[in-house]
């Protein structure tokens, strides 16, 4: 089975007091407008654009446009985030961080472990 991997290219355009973060996508599978509104990757871009104090960032949420440009379809999906949505995204990220910190990452002992790239770090032997 042939798998196609997406290659991402990002750009930031500045228009007076607004910025647009553009994520160019290859691949035929674009997300819907509804999915874009909830997409964590786009929320992370918005968090950066509203939190980093250097130019061109440090913008209010309403001054940050988030766009996905799909080459293969071709289509463009643009969305924004509110302060409340950014707060929720920050909470989601903190929850993931907590789950990772509390995980034990215990080795399964699976036959695939013999060729695991992390075998040198594994304490299952």
Interval 38-89: pLDDT, tens: 999 999 999 999 999 998 899 999 999 999 999 888 899 999 999 999 999 9
87 sits in which H/E element: helix 83-102
Closest CA to 71 of 32, 24, 11: 24
Closest CA to 46 of 31, 32, 27, 60: 60
Residues making up the chain, counted from first to last: 125
The token duo for 27 is 């691949």
pLDDT value at position 9?
60
The token duo for 46 is 């918005």
pLDDT value at position 5?
38
12 sits in which H/E element: strand 8-15
CB 23 within 8 A of CB 68: yes
CB 28 within 8 A of CB 73: yes
């Amino acid at each position: 089975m042939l798998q196609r991997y997406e290659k991402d290219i990002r750009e930031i355009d500045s228009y007076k007091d607004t910025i647009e973060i553009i994520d160019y996508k290859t691949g035929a599978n674009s997300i819907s407008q509804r999915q874009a509104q909830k997409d964590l990757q786009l929320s992370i871009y918005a968090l950066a654009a509203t939190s980093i104090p250097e130019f061109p960032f440090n913008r209010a949420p309403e001054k940050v446009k988030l766009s996905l440009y799909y080459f293969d379809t071709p289509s463009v999906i643009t969305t924004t985030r509110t302060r409340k949505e950014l707060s929720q995204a920050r909470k989601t990220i903190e929850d993931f961080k907590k789950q990772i910190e509390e995980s034990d990452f215990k080795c399964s002992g699976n036959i695939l472990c013999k060729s695991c790239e992390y075998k040198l770090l594994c304490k299952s032997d």
